[in-house]
């Protein structure tokens, strides 16, 4: 469904993202002769901008390290260092042994740990609580983790965290990885929103465009919008998609419930011509006459009095309307598209590559199945696009539904072809050339479909639109000129409704 150009994003495993991060750290560490711990802190502070970090380190390495809290602070000799060099935790005041890190109090080991750049020591428990409360549990990452001492400018890096508990080390690794993913100025990295998916998407900021950012395809088969992280909702904007899910869809469901109740009343009751109350009559028996609670009697068929009826039989033409072909509502189309999309996803998940012999067959068939999921998802969100067209755009709405039905027919036919080729590939091998051509044709068809909707279905317009301009828009249905401040046609639609 996308143009044949190179995609500006790539799909990585989480291990792959971690490897890219480690390589960036190793490069800064090796080139500028700083420890990997210091390189990690510098890159977090500069939001993983390697070019900027390189320029700053090359310009004045000592200044950058000092500003980043990676240089030793001057120890205050006036601090009380008596009592046989016994020090205590700066938060809970537990006493440790020597400053080197370990001591015993009541036969219990107390590890007092500080950063390499200051003399402020804290026990592991206080370190854990400090990191958890101020950093690990927060939704937004901070560019640096300072020493817990209020006036200290030293920062906490991997070399300090590796002395803490295993849990703290794991939490810190996740924190750094989250910083790399969310604060990166060069790349955008997000996790696939599908539950239990292990893939992550890396997006090049310089190559980001509307075409791809609204339609990111993960290797798990999920297609989502990069901007709002909802499932891919082309041709609808992120705001419209959010409004549809949070407001419009709920309103339509409520209206549908009310409409179904009113429909039952219309089908099973009639208005008494005497008192104008609704009367229900389930079984006619031998007579068509109904007696209302007001004692008025009338014919159920024609609502007329008993006069003119031969032996109780009505000879007048029926007042019941001839049942017209039901018009599918946006909600009906949405529900049907949901079912089709769920079926396409289940077929993709059920695909077993081990049943096929040729690697190329596996690749082309899976590509076809993923394309079907994208097409079904696109057709589903066209229902919202349909909903956004008001009654004064009836011509475009009818044309859009025609295009949608035609596209759905093509996708269904292509789906049947994929199933046949998958069965054939188990024994003889599939027709890869033909299947690849079909995939290309379907993709191009939907690509141009998207562009048609993006242009606003310009090929559909009322004749009265030709060579017309001014402070009015013309209704597609009745061609009445309405003010641009009015959304619904004043002539053929009641403005109060």
Mean pLDDT by 10 residues, the chain (497 residues): 64 87 93 93 91 92 91 58 64 64 41 88 91 85 88 91 92 90 77 85 70 77 85 85 84 66 65 77 64 80 71 57 50 86 88 79 88 91 78 72 89 91 82 89 90 74 48 65 68 50
Structural domain contains residue 227: no
Assess if residue 484 is contained within a domain: yes
Residue 466, domain member (yes or no): yes
- Tokens in use for 23? 């390589």
pLDDT at 150: 86
In a 10 Å sphere around its CB, with 0-12 CB exposed, 13-18 middle and 19+ buried, how is residue 93 labelled? exposed
pLDDT of residue 461: 57
Residues 354 and 406 in one domain: yes
**Is 404 a domain residue?**
yes
Q: For residue 78, what pLDDT is reported?
A: 46
Q: Cβ distance 349 to 409 under 8 Å?
A: no
Please report the pLDDT score of residue 376 as a whole number: 92
143-180: burial string, b at 16+ Cβ within 10 Å, e else: ebbbbbbeebbbbbbbebbeebeeebeebbeebbbbbb
Per-residue pLDDT at 392:
59
Residues 350 and 452 in one domain: yes
The boundaries of the domain holding residue 354 are 346-460
DSSP β-ladder status, 297-299 and 289-291: antiparallel
Q: Are residues 495 and 474 in the same domain?
A: yes
Query: Do residues 440 and 360 both lie within one domain?
Result: yes
Residue appearing with tokens 């959304």: 487
Is residue 212 one of the residues assigned to a domain?
no
Verify that 373 and 436 share a domain, yes or no: yes
Helix locations, 68-220, DSSP H:
82-85, 124-131, 158-161, 166-182, 210-213
In a domain, 363, yes or no: yes
Asked whether residue 362 falls in the same domain as residue 456, the answer is yes
487 with 453, same domain: the answer is no
| Position 396 in a domain | yes
Q: How many DSSP H helices and E strands does the chain contain?
A: 14, 14
- Comparing CA positions, the residue from 58, 57, 77, 59 lying closest to residue 68 is 57
Q: Are residues 472 and 449 in the same domain?
A: no
Burial 421-438 (b: 16+ CB within 10 A, else e): bbeebeeeebbbeebeeb
Does 361 share its domain with 442? yes
How many domains would you assign to the chain? 3
Do 384 and 369 fall into the same domain? yes
Decide if 134 is inside a domain: no
360 & 441 share domain:
yes
The reply to whether 355 and 427 lie within a common domain is: yes
Q: According to the model, what pLDDT value does residue 109 have?
A: 46
Q: Is the whole model's pTM more than 0.75, yes or no?
A: no
pLDDT of amino acid 106: 40
């Amino acid at each position: 469904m996308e143009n044949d150009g190179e995609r500006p994003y790539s799909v990585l495993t989480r291990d792959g993202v971690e490897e890219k991060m480690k390589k960036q750290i190793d490069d800064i560490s090796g080139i500028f002769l700083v420890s990997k711990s210091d390189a990690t802190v510098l890159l977090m502070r500069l939001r993983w901008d390697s070019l900027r970090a390189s320029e700053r380190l090359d310009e004045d390495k000592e200044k950058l390290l000092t500003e980043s809290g990676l240089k030793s602070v001057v120890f205050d000799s006036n601090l009380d260092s008596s009592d046989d060099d016994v020090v205590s935790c700066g938060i809970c005041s537990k006493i440790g042994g020597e400053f080197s890190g370990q001591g015993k109090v009541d036969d219990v080991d107390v590890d007092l740990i500080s950063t390499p750049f200051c003399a402020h020591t804290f026990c592991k428990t206080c370190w854990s609580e400090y990191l958890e409360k101020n950093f690990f549990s927060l939704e937004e990452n901070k560019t640096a983790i300072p020493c817990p001492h209020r006036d200290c400018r030293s920062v906490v890096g991997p070399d300090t965290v590796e002395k803490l508990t295993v849990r703290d080390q794991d939490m810190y690794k996740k924190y750094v990885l989250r910083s790399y993913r969310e604060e990166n100025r060069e790349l955008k990295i997000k996790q696939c929103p599908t539950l239990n998916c292990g893939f992550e998407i890396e997006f090049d900021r310089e190559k980001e465009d509307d075409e791809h950012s609204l339609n990111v395809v993960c290797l798990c088969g999920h297609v989502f919008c990069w901007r709002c992280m909802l499932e891919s909702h082309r041709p609808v904007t992120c705001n419209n998609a959010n409004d549809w899910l949070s407001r419009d869809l709920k309103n339509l469901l409520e209206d549908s419930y009310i409409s179904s109740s009113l429909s039952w009343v219309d089908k099973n009751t009639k208005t008494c011509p005497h008192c104008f109350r609704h009367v229900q009559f389930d079984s006619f028996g031998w007579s068509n006459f109904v007696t209302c609670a007001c004692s008025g009697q009338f014919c159920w068929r024609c609502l007329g009095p008993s006069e003119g009826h031969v032996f109780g039989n009505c000879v007048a033409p029926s007042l019941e309307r001839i049942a017209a072909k039901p018009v599918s509502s946006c909600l009906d189309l949405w529900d049907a598209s949901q079912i089709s999309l769920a079926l396409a996803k289940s077929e993709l998940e059920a695909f077993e590559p081990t049943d096929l012999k040729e690697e190329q067959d596996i690749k082309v068939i899976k590509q076809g199945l993923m394309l079907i999921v994208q097409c079904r998802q696109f057709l589903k969100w066209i229902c919202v696009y349909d909903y956004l067209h008001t009654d004064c755009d009836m011509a475009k709405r009818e044309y859009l539904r025609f295009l949608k039905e035609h596209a759905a027919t093509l996708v269904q036919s292509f789906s049947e072809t994929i199933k046949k080729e998958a069965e054939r590939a188990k024994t003889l091998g599939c027709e890869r050339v033909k299947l690849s051509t079909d995939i290309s044709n379907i993709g191009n068809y939907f690509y141009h479909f998207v562009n048609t909707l993006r242009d606003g279905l310009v090929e559909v317009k009322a004749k009265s639109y030709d060579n017309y301009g001014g402070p009015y828009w013309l209704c597609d249905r009745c061609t009445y000129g309405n003010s641009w401040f009015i959304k619904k046609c004043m002539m053929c639609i009641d403005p109060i409704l």
